[in-house]
Structure 1
Amino acid sequence: MIRFFLVLTAWLAVLAANAQQPAQRYPLIPYPTSLAPAAGQFTVTAQTALIVQDNRFANESRQLQALLQAGLRKPLPATGKGTRIVLQHDATLTNPEAYVLTITPQQVTLKAGQPVGMFRAIQTIRQLLPVDLESRSAKPVSSLVLPAVQIQDGPAYGWRGMHLDVSRHFYSIDYLEKFIDRLALYKFNTFHLHLTDDQGWRLEIKAYPKLTTEGAWRTFNNQDSVVLKRAVENPDFDLPKQFLRQHNGQTQYGGFYTQDQMRKLIAYAAARHIEIIPEIDMPGHLSSAIQAYPFLSCTGQPGMGKTFSVPVCPCNEPTYTFMETVLNEVMRLFPSSYIHIGADEVEKTTWAQSTACQELMKREGIKNVEELQSYFVHRIEAYVQSKGKKLLVWDDALEGGLKPSATVMYWRSWVKDAPQKAARNGNKVVMTPVSTLYFDSPPGIQSVENVYNLAVVPEGITPQQKNLFLGAQANIWTEYIPSENRADYMAMPRMTALSEVVWTARPNYASFQQRLLQHYGRMEKMGIHYRLPDLTGFAEENVFADKATLRIKKPLHSYTLRYTTDGSQPQSSSPELKDGLEISKPQTVRVAAFTPSGVRGDVYSLRYQQQAYATPATVAAPKAGLQCHYYKKYFKETKLMKQQTADSTYTINNVVVPKSVNAPSFGIQFRGSLTVPETGVYSFFYTCDDGGILRIADRMVVDNDGNHFPIEKSGQVALQKGAHPFEADFIEGGGGFTLKLKYSLNGSEPADIPDSWFSH
């Protein structure tokens, strides 16, 4: 009988483990290469032994000890007769970042071939432990529980990076350490630090002290003015007071890192197996340096050209002396294998007008200013290589010719063949396209999914060239991101999506969505000012025939929804939106979610207007599909297409861009009828990159016009059953387009519009 009871108990335990979805029991981001669920759990107590069988893992064992001690308040002993956590060396794991993690009720075993692999395994354990451990105010506990599991894991790509621009706005060392901790948690291995630009020089250079005494500070510029205006409603846009100073009767904004500070930060990152790659932008984006040392420009002064700032002069030898001296200090400081010099967005007008440059070009057989930039890049690369380093550049540097030894970061989405061009040239490539991985672009309802759908290896790459694609990186350019809270908001949770794309061999977005919901609580405990999940189930522009009820499902049970109807921003003291809010008159309702700690999510302004049901139109002999008028031109607004003659006209089944469209910039008008199967209030969700307008029954439904990143906007229209005039306009300004149109009826889940509804 006892044996039967034990077997039954074990069987029930297996059933319980299997009944719990893997995304709930193992909420890991990025998801492992291989995960086999197992029954039971391992309990860590103060008596559990932490056994390190190879001293090469001493650093990692200390970090695991600190992680567990945050909850138990006691260090684990190195020996013991009870449960054990064992760190083992496994020489068969040849990928340095690979690891094997086995958790049974009796023992936790972590195996790795290199310390970095052991560290990745510990981050997996960290994500399996209770989220309360992430809080500095976590209460002590007598035990910690880990679910039983068997994991074999390793990264799909070797370059898994995040970038932060500290030039446009400055960030403290304390924040950079927090940023590194987040990179470590999500198994990133590269931190690209953009240290210099027109707006500020952020690293101490002992040979040229004015780079920081003067170049690190500025009076308020146009970007500062923009964020200060936004700060009136959102304090996350305010300039940090600790980076303001009074100097010569002026308020200046800025700051810099001493070499000692940076040395400590590099060590902090190295202990977490993060490589910091410095970027010293050149030959353009150097106003902060030219203002301090005017001899660097061809004109002897800083300034603005037609598009970008005046660059340094590649035709004067003192420029190279300066750059090599700066780079020498940088390379002595940073142990990274790469040095990034930018080489992007160079305003070459002063070069074309320079006598010295004309003489140099004639002497060296240089045909144009693009090749002159390549001359500069090649000289700098030779110096970098002489110090045992490799060169990194943005893909702009391909224009005048680039040696295969340089590694290219592809960012210009509108130059669609740049990755293929780099691969044909033999350059290694890191994908960082502006259309997807520029996290300074406003996040929206589809931004996480867009990141998750990134193609790390683009189309048109041969099997032989595939290995040239090292991985991917997201960039946070900070022109309009003045605070640490705002940087958090822009990065999270998009950063988690990227972490999975570059680590997991076969990513699964549906699974990721479920696991991500559990990570919001962890982010909260870590003090990350993340962007809360989107509120859904409504439109921005709403209509009602008689009355309507606003109901919003909370993305997480712990959130509270609050609203206002007087035009003010929702506060933690505003009325709570619970079962629903009845709407019987035209008004604007503002809604926001609040976390338990009081962090407010995005504020949604929902405008309501009363509208009679549109009467259907009579369509004589309708034909299937829509008329599609195509214009091969650049438009800033959709209305400008009305002044033009279409280059082509198609019949198309739905609101999609025809496959034959290949112009970099274009406009499309979709015209016809939309036949709805029943009377009701229809919601439409129109995602455009760049812009679009949607009219139905001669009524404006969605205004998503202008040139911008992918943004979904929504609206409603009251329609009687039958056919109604349909107009959708779309413009693409260059850089890759997105066009999606979905509908919902009476609050149903958004869905694609059936082809059969369209006619002309």
Structure 2
Amino acid sequence: MKIKHTITLSLFLAIIFVSICAKAQQAVVKYPIIPYPTSLTPASGNFIITPATRIVVPGNHLFTNEAVMLNRLFANSFGKALQKSTQPVNHSILLKYDAAIIADEGYTLSISPKQITIAARTPSGMFMAVQTIRQLLPANVELANAIPLKSLSLPAVEIKDEPAYAWRGMHLDVSRHFFSIAYLKKFINVMALYKMNKLHLHLTDDQGWRIEIKKYPKLTEEGAWRTFDKNDSACMKRAPDNPDFALDTEHIIHKNGKTLYGGFYTQQEMKGLVAYAAARHIDIIPEIDMPGHMMAAINAYPFLTCNGENKWGDLFSRPICPCNESTFEFAENVFSEIMDIFPSKYIHIGGDEVDRSDWAKSDACKALMKREGIKDLPALQSYFINRMEVFFNQHGRKMIGWDEILEGGVSKTAIIMYWRGWVPDAPVKAAKLGNKVIMTPGSPLYFDAIPDKNSIPAVYNFNIIPKGLTDAEGKNIIGAQANIWTENIPSEKRADYMYMPRMTALAEVLWTNHPDYDSYLQRLDDQYARLDILNVHYRLPDLSGFLQSNVFTDQDTLSVSSPLPYLSIRYTTDGTLPVANSTLLSKPLIITQSQRIRLAAFKPDGTHGDVYNLQYDKQSLAEPETVAHVSDGLICRDYKQFYKLAALIPDTKADTTFIAKTISVPQFAEAPAFGLKYRGYLDVPQDGIYSFYLTCDDGGTLKIASREVVDNDGLHSAIEKNGQIALKKGLHNIALDFIEGGGGYTLKLKYSLNGSAPQDIPAQWLKN
């Protein structure tokens, strides 16, 4: 009897579980909202909107702007806006003030077949509700001048929603490459769709000054333009294979016999953009980076340096001089005009990557340090930063700086933007001191890092609160943002590709803070049609079913499933780029000889996603080596120098040599840049085709049995590359070289056998 009851109970629980999962699946399909609301309760039926439906808005005009934003969607759909009313009417859309909603951006949304009620305490909360409705409506509501519809349908639902974090930001560097006002408006519109609320504009750097300052006109007359630099040239070299790397021609001019790249925003243009963002409840935070990264300004006004010179140091450009009053006069004049343009209570001063060597040689700096009791150069930088913060505070503004401003001491009122992932205690230290912290570590939140299949899950699974903080200290972490540095992003299309769709993952982490990755992926599929209409040149979902380097002993099969139903997979075998009329991969392709295959997914309009270059090599199984005696672990040689390529690490005597029981960056590695050489044997347990997955930040190469398996070399962010090799059971020599250029400290090696799931290399395989 007990057994029967147990079986019956188990079956009952299984049925309940399947039912819950099915309902959750239906909810995802029916309510494909990103970021997912804090609380969503499905309901039955739909509310039908017709041109006769009215929008009821309180007479106090609190939500007038939000009603306009909502009505714009209906005007697109019906060819005219819905009529508004201040008095309740049947079958209407009611915008309602609710003092009981505590969160500034919180709202409730009730949709039934008879009524839509949206309640909020603030306009920002009401706007967030409008974005939820926007995503529940069909994607074509984004289209102006479309063929008018007779009706729209919204699914019944009860939503209570508010954000987990106050700072939900995106950063865009407009200095290295310039972006039009029209593009920034599109960027803001997409941010608003996903409830992001902070746009950090990096307006100045060595490569260009992008904002008009009337007191110093040469900042834009000269500082906004340049001849093509090394980054421009590198991008142009890549353009033939990928047109997204071509510089936007609207930012190229011909003047005085020179071809110049650049541009700037007038104060009037930027004020218009600020107003556009404010209507969408997005705060634009300007960054004027000081005291480093100021070459564009120093070229125009040489008095800003300690010695009148402007050149590159070992790593960074020479900074402005914090020891001359003329520097502070300049800085205060610039920021006064910036404050007139940007009403944000936040001003970003940068403060990162400063070459202080000239300060040590300056008589003015020596005198200032003696007079003020400043002990070292980091403290001298803090003197500059702290003095500027006083100026900001006097004008009702709060200062943000990159985490380097902690080094010489900083006030508790400064806001720290943490980016240096190799200094993990920086945000913990700042939060414990009482400073507010914005998390933006390079991995995974530098969206200029080349995206791959791991990029979206890395963002989605990012922990906003670092380890080592109490609950009270954790409240000093006010949110996060993703940064887009544009040295290698020369066009608006390339910028779209780099930030979308991974921005949607960050949006959900920051708003909902209750990760459900499988649900998110289902809802993400529903977003692509809307992004197409919004003209966002997003990165298509990854293709799978292959590696970059594939081997086989007899034959292999290439089979690729389309990640979206409207994509077609096309390929070439002659080395040319696949185009819209290339051969369609409609069934598995049998491969019997060594060859190179290039393939890509194509949208119906002929545009395509990433081009995958697949190498197939026919190999015999590599014979194992006979070794008299082996010990556990690999021999690792550590070279404490900077290398641009792992291939450049010499075979000379290393600085240190040790036995490594795992393949990873050693915990004791402290040098900002170094190279590692792992040597020994891999003891594989059986014959087969072995796949290896090498993730490096910066670069690395892998050879096994004297065959090249993975080439992931170069200075880059954390990227996984993979390859295969045919091995017989036994010992095979392994050579893995790795370089760290400063910042990433990431080295991982996984394997799979005959197509199994990737897993870590077992320690017992590593021998020397």
Q: TM over 0.5, yes or no?
A: yes
Query: Residue by residue, what CA displacement relative to the aligned partner does 1:441-491 show, whole Å, maximum 9, x if unpaired?
Result: 111121111222222111122333111111101111111111100111111
Which residue in the other structure is 2:64 paired with? 58
CA deviations 1:719-746 (Å, max 9, x no partner) are 3466655555555454343344444455
Evaluate the alpha carbon distance shift between residue 134 and residue 747 of structure 1 in structure 2; reply closer, same or farther with a 3 A threshold: farther
Which residue of structure 1 aligns with residue 9 of structure 2?
none
Number of the residue aligned with 1:673: 682
**What SS does the corresponding residue of 1:256 show, helix, strand or coil?**
coil
> Does the Cα contact within 8 Å between 1:551 and 1:581 map onto a contact in 2?
yes
Are residues 1:252 and 2:235 paired?
no
Contact 1:17/1:39 (CA < 8 Å) preserved in 2?
no
TM-score (norm 2): 0.91
SS in 1 for 2:176: coil
Label 1:178 to 1:714 Cα distance change in 2 as closer, same or farther (>3 A).
Answer: same
- TM-score (norm: length of structure 1): 0.92
Q: In the alignment, what sits opposite 1:369?
A: 377
Alignment-derived partner of residue 158 in structure 1: 166
Aligned to 1:69: 75
Q: Given that residues 565 and 589 in structure 1 are in contact (C-alpha distance below 8 angstroms), is that contact kept between their aligned partners in structure 2?
A: yes
Work out the CA distance in 2 between the residues paired with 1:511 and 1:733: 37
**Alpha-carbon deviation of 1:267?**
0.5
Q: Which amino acid aligns with 1:69?
A: A
Which one-letter code corresponds to 2:28 in the other structure? A
Q: Which residue is equivalent to 2:192?
A: 184
Deviation, structure 1 residue 538: 0.4
Alpha-carbon distance change, 632 to 558 in structure 1, aligned in 2, over 3 angstroms = same
Alignment partner of 1:28 out of 18, 23, 33: 33
CA distance in 2, matches of 1:747, 1:45: 54
Aligned partner of residue 472 in structure 2, secondary structure: coil
Deviates more, 1:35-44 or 1:199-208: 35-44
Query: How big is the shift at 1:411?
Result: 1.1
Mapping for residues 325-724 of structure 1, pairs under 5 Å:
325-615=333-623, 626-627=633-634, 629=636, 631=638, 633=640, 636=643, 640=649, 643-644=652-653, 649=658, 652=661, 655=663, 667=676, 669=678, 671-677=680-686, 679-720=687-728
Deviation larger for 215-224 or 294-303 = 294-303
- Structure 2: unaligned runs, 5 residues or longer: 1-18
Deviates more, 1:656-665 or 1:459-468: 656-665
Q: CA deviation at 1:249?
A: 1.8
Distance 2:622 2:313 in 1: 54
CA distance in 1, matches of 2:586, 2:200: 44
Letter aligned with residue 714 of structure 1: N
SS of corresponding position for 1:465 = helix
Partner of 1:40: 45
SS at match of 2:103: coil
Cα shift at 1:420 = 2.0
Contact kept? 1:93, 1:112, Cα under 8 Å? yes
Give yes or no for contact 1:101–1:109 (8 Å, CA) kept in 2.
Answer: yes
* Residues 1:446 and 1:67: Cα distance change in structure 2 (over 3 Å): same
Deviations 1:198-233 (A, max 9, x none): 111111111111211222111222222221222222
**Equivalent position amino acid for 1:281 in 2:** D
Partner residue in 2 for 1:10 = none
Q: CA RMSD in A?
A: 2.7
In the superposition, relative to structure 1, how do residues 746 and 377 fare at CA in structure 2: closer, same or farther (>3 Å)?
A: same
Matched, 1:236 2:241: no
Q: Are the equivalent residues in 1 in contact too, given 2:107–2:119 (CA < 8 A)?
A: yes
In 1, Cα distance between equivalents of 2:630 and 2:250: 67
Structure 1 residue 280, shift from structure 2 partner: 1.1
Change (3 A) 1:318 1:723: closer
The one-letter amino acid paired with 2:343 is P
Using the TM superposition, give the Cα deviation of residue 534 of structure 1 relative to its aligned residue in structure 2, in angstroms.
1.1
Q: Quick check: 1:632–1:663 contact (8 Å CA) kept in 2?
A: no
Distance 2:23 2:460 in 1: 27
Q: Which residue of 1 aligns with 2:8?
A: none
3-state SS of 1:40 partner: strand
Q: Contact between 1:409 and 1:432, CA under 8 Å: does it hold in 2?
A: yes
For 1:599 and 1:700, the matched residues in 2 are separated by: 34
1:676 Cα deviation from its structure 2 partner: 4.4
Q: Which residue of 1 aligns with 2:223?
A: 215
**Superposition deviation, residue 113 in structure 1:** 1.1
Contact 2:680 2:766 survives alignment (8 Å): no
- Give SS of 2:323's match: coil
Deviates more, 1:52-61 or 1:556-565: 52-61
Q: What is the aligned length?
A: 744
Q: Is the 8 A contact 1:676 1:723 kept in 2?
A: no
Moved more, 639-648 or 492-501: 639-648
Q: 1:38 to 1:755 in 2, by over 3 A?
A: farther
* Structure 2: distance between partners of 1:638 and 1:71: 57
Q: Which moved more, 1:151-160 or 1:231-240?
A: 231-240
Q: For residues 743 and 233 of structure 2, what CA distance do their matches in structure 1 show?
A: 28
Cα contact 2:90–2:115 (8 A) shared by 1: no
Note the alpha carbon deviations across 1:324-343, whole angstroms, 9 max, x for none: 11111111221100111111
- The alpha-carbon deviation at position 748 of structure 1 amounts to 5.2
Q: Give the one of 91, 104, 107 matched to 1:99.
A: 107
Which residue of structure 2 lines up, in the alignment, with residue 3 of structure 1?
none
Q: Counterpart in 2 of 1:274?
A: 282
The DSSP-based 3-state class of the residue aligned with 1:464 is helix
Task: Report the Cα distance in structure 2 between the residues aligned to 1:751 and 1:49, rounded to whole angstroms.
Answer: 58
CA distance in structure 2 between the partners assigned to 1:668 and 1:416 by the alignment: 26
- Is residue 743–residue 752 contact of structure 1 (8 Å, CA) maintained in 2? yes
Deviates further, 265-274 or 63-72? 63-72
Matched residue SS, 1:88: strand
The alpha carbon displacement at 1:99 in A equals 1.0
How many angstroms apart in 2 are the aligned matches of 1:651 and 1:236?
42
Deviation at 1:663, TM superposition (A): 7.2
SS at match of 1:91: coil
Is the 1:674–1:726 contact (alpha carbons within 8 Å) kept by the matching residues of 2?
A: no
CA contact (8 A) 2:717 2:744 kept: no
From the superposition, tell whether residues 292 and 104 of structure 1 become closer, same or farther in structure 2 (CA, over 3 Å): same
Change (3 A) 1:65 1:317: same
Q: 2:119 maps to which residue?
A: 111
Aligned equivalent of 1:4: none
Task: Please tell me whether the aligned partners of residues 537 and 749 of structure 1 are also in contact (alpha carbons under 8 angstroms).
Answer: no
Shift in CA distance, 586/249, structure 1 to aligned 2, threshold 3 Å: same
Supply the distance in 2 between the matched residues of 1:238 and 1:706 (Cα, whole angstroms): 22
Taking the aligned partners of 1:81 and 1:136, their CA distance within structure 2 comes to: 28
2:326 aligns with one of 318, 328, 345: 318
Q: Deviations over 1:220-276 (max 9, x none)?
A: 222222212222222212222222222222112111111111111111000000000
- What secondary structure does 2:84 align onto? coil
1:141 alignment partner in structure 2:
149
Task: Please tell me whether the aligned partners of residues 408 and 428 of structure 1 are also in contact (alpha carbons under 8 angstroms).
Answer: yes
Q: For residues 63 and 89 of structure 1, what CA distance do their matches in structure 2 show? A: 17
Equivalent pair of 1:205/1:329 in contact (CA under 8 Å): yes
Q: Which runs of 5+ in 1 are unaligned?
A: 1-13
